[in-house]
Amino acid sequence: MVDEQQVAQTAVVEEVTIFDRIVKKEIPATIIYEDDKCLAFRDIAPVAKVHFLVIPKDRDGLTGLSKAEDRHADLLGHLMVVAAKVANQEGLGTNGYRIVINEGKEGCQSVYHLHIHVIGGQQLSWPPGV
């Protein structure tokens, strides 16, 4: 298994990310939701029974949450609404789930394309990842 902490330490902003390639259907992914603005797909290294990502199709400069500007407000809201919609679709609505956005090296971000992790399907621990 890949050590995400080590990967995050050397990750850099890329012109074309693995997520851009998934959006373009150049590499396979198990897509569970798609609309004109975003895509949701199962994580290839799940940390819980249910683990999927929600990503914008067009990064528009959103390599991470720290790059968010007022012009991104509608897209960011849409990503959160889709995260909730797909969580319900995946059966997580009754017992709950966790939303995670990793930011930067210390936040363990390994792909510089904003993405929301939705994790659930089992009892999660607290505090997360400390």
Average pLDDT over residues 71-99: 97
Positive or negative: CA dihedral 109, 35, 21, 45: positive
User: What is the pLDDT of the chain when averaged over all its residues?
Assistant: 93
Q: What is the pLDDT of residue 11?
A: 76
Domain boundaries, the chain: 4-120
Q: Does domain 4-120 have CATH number 3.30.428.10?
A: yes
Higher pLDDT, 12 or 109: 109
Give the active site residue among 51, 72, 113, 115: 115
Strands (E), 10-115: 31-34, 38-42, 50-56, 97-100
pTM: 0.93
- 115 has catalytic annotation: yes
> Phi and psi dihedrals of 12, rounded to 5?
-135, 160
Q: What is the pLDDT of residues 115-129, one digit of tens each?
A: 999 999 999 999 887
